[in-house]
């Protein structure tokens, strides 16, 4: 039996959060065209203070660290509401990659790591980044990494080349995935190591331009080099060789939250499409919505968003009930399905808006540029489809090797 009811407390929380998103963040979007994240960050930090004062800050963070301590499914619903603005998650301190880093520090961090890294992250005083993908190796095969962390007494010496380290610009520390045990079985070779970005061995090479936007601060992606980067062994998160296990912990719930954030974006694009279809006249008294082709956009989008939300809700329920391992088919399915629903709904909404849709007068173009990557990060579509199909085929007696 699946549970779709939302408790009165959560309903109230969602409406308070939505009110903040509409009052504080939607007007801000009107003023940011052509400005970098760093330029608008002071305004966002002020909004964060008001979010804190309203008792809504860090919804996913356990209450012992000052958050709301929301459960997995409740936070998924919050994530949808916050997705209605590109800055929703940042304003509430549940943005990637910090949210994932807070989660693994909470689950695997030592007392010292929690004091030094988790507590200031949860208070929103510092930011962090996650450094796994390498330009020279296929990110789709995360067991094949070049970055090495070699033990030297009570230190690790890290050497490696990373890119797509999101939000490295201005981050206080990186969680680095590095091979510590090259001769161990594939999934026990790498460890996660905390590297303060003021370490002399941390080199910020460049901000990577994405579809014409270089970005800055939290809204950016960096190329980074680790050159003879020495950190104490006590900076390792969890056991040596446990990097993949911890990555799985980080990615499972993270995918549900990403998918719900995409549904928030899709809902906003959908609302905008419907509003425009109802009001933009092709000729006097004939709005766009009188045309069946536009009605088709609306009907298809509604059905696809609802289907995606049901799949996500079911996957979240299954993780809650049976754990991440049992829910891996459902998680693979939502990752590619929801990402593609998002792309299609955004595309239809832009199309309905005509020329306006590609301007920066609405958030649609920015969403289009920055959310194309949804089909690539956290596992490209093809990887999730192949994994899902292989597991299904196994039930039919065909074992296809993951080459």
Rounded to whole angstroms, how far apart are CA atoms 113 and 194?
9
**Nearest-CB residue to ligand FAD?**
139
Our CB check for ligand FAD shows the closer of 147 and 352 to be: 147
Among residues 79 and 133, whose Cβ is nearest to ligand FAD?
133
Closest separation in Å from C-beta 344 to ligand FAD: 18
Question: Of 147 and 235, which CB lies nearer to ligand FAD in the complex structure?
Answer: 147
Beta carbons of 226 and 202 less than 8 angstroms apart:
yes
CA distances (Å), 90 to each of 46, 121, 174, in order? 12, 12, 18
Distance, in Å, from the CA atom of 270 to the CA atom of 337, rounded to the nearest integer, reads 17
Q: Given the rule CB under 6 A, which residues bind ligand FAD?
A: 97, 130-133, 138-140, 164-166, 221, 373, 376-377, 380, 382-383, 386
Distance of closest approach, residue 380 Cβ to ligand FAD, in angstroms = 4
| Residue 208, phi then psi, degrees to nearest 5 | -90, 130
DSSP state of 213: B
User: Are the C-beta atoms of residues 169 and 179 closer than 8 Å to each other?
Assistant: no
Residue 358 Cβ vs ligand FAD, minimum distance, rounded to whole Å: 20
Closest distance of CB 130 from ligand FAD, Å: 5
Least distance to ligand FAD, CB of residue 33, Å:
21
C-alpha 220/C-alpha 301 separation (Å) is 30
**Residue 71 CB, nearest approach to ligand FAD (Å):** 25
Residue with tokens 């091979």: 179
Strand partners, 194: 175
Residue closer to ligand FAD, measured from CB, 59 or 379 = 379
Q: Which is nearer to ligand FAD, 245 or 373 (CB)?
A: 373
Residue (24 or 378) nearer to ligand FAD, CB: 378
Element (H, E) at 222: strand 219-232
- Name the minimum Å distance from CB 166 to ligand FAD: 3
Q: Which has the closest alpha carbon to 103: 65, 54, 160?
A: 65
- Chain-centre distance for alpha carbon 155: 31
Q: Minimal distance in Å, beta carbon 309 to ligand FAD?
A: 23
Q: Would you call 256 helix, strand, or coil by DSSP?
A: helix
Sign of CA dihedral 184, 190, 194, 200: positive
Closer of 95 and 165 to ligand FAD (Cβ): 165
Which C-beta is closer to ligand FAD: that of 106 or that of 384? 384
Nearer to ligand FAD, 60 or 165 (CB): 165
Measuring CA to CA, how many Å separate 220 from each of 34, 40, 45, 129, 265? 15, 14, 17, 11, 19
Instruction: Give the Cα separation of 163 and 169 in Å (integer).
Output: 12
Residue 31: burial class (beta carbons within 10 Å; 0-12, 13-18, 19+): exposed
CB of 95 to ligand FAD, least distance (A): 11
CB of 140 to ligand FAD, least distance (A): 3
Q: Which residues of 180-215 are buried (b: 16+ CB within 10 A; e: fewer)?
A: beeeeeeebbbbbbbbebebeebeeeebbebeebeb
Cβ closest to ligand FAD, residue 6 vs residue 207: 207
């Amino acid at each position: 039996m699946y549970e779709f009811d939302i408790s009165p407390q959560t309903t109230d929380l969602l409406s308070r959060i939505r009110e903040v998103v509409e009052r504080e963040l939607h007007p801000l979007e009107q003023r940011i065209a052509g400005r970098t994240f760093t330029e608008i960050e002071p305004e966002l930090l002020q909004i964060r203070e008001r979010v804190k004062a309203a008792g809504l800050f860090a919804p996913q963070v356990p209450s012992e660290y000052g958050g709301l301590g929301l459960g997995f499914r409740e936070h998924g619903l919050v994530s949808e509401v916050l997705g209605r603005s590109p800055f929703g998650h940042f304003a509430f301190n549940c943005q990637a990659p910090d949210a994932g880093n807070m989660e693994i520090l909470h689950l695997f961090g030592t007392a010292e790591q929690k004091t030094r890294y988790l507590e200031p992250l949860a208070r929103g005083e510092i930011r962090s980044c996650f450094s796994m993908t390498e330009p020279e190796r296929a990110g789709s095969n995360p067991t094949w990494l070049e970055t090495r962390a070699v033990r030297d007494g009570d230190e690790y010496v890290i050497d490696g080349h990373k890119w797509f380290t999101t939000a490295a610009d201005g981050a206080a520390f990186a969680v680095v995935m590095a091979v510590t045990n090259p001769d161990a079985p594939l999934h026990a070779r790498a460890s996660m190591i905390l590297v303060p970005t003021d370490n002399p061995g941390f080199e910020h090479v460049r901000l990577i331009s994405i579809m014409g936007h270089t970005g800055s601060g939290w809204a950016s992606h960096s190329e980074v080099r680790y050159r003879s980067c020495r950190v104490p062994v006590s900076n390792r998160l969890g056991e040596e060789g446990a990097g993949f296990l911890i990555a799985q912990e980080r990615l499972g719930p993270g995918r549900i939250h990403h998918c719900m954030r995409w549904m928030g974006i899709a809902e906003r694009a959908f609302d905008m499409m419907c509003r425009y279809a109802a009001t933009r006249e092709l000729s006097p008294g004939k709005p766009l919505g009188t045309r069946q082709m536009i009605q088709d956009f609306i009907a298809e989008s509604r059905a696809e968003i609802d289907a995606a939300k049901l799949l996500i809700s079911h996957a979240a329920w299954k993780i809650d009930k049976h754990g991440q391992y049992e829910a891996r088919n459902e998680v693979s399915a939502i990752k590619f399905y929801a990402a593609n629903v998002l792309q299609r709904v955004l595309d239809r909404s832009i199309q309905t808006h005509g020329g306006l849709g590609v301007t920066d007068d609405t958030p649609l173009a920015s969403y289009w540029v920055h959310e194309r990557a949804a089909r690539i990060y956290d596992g490209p579509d093809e990887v999730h489809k192949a994994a899902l199909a292989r597991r299904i085929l196994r039930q039919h007696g065909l074992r296809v090797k993951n080459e």
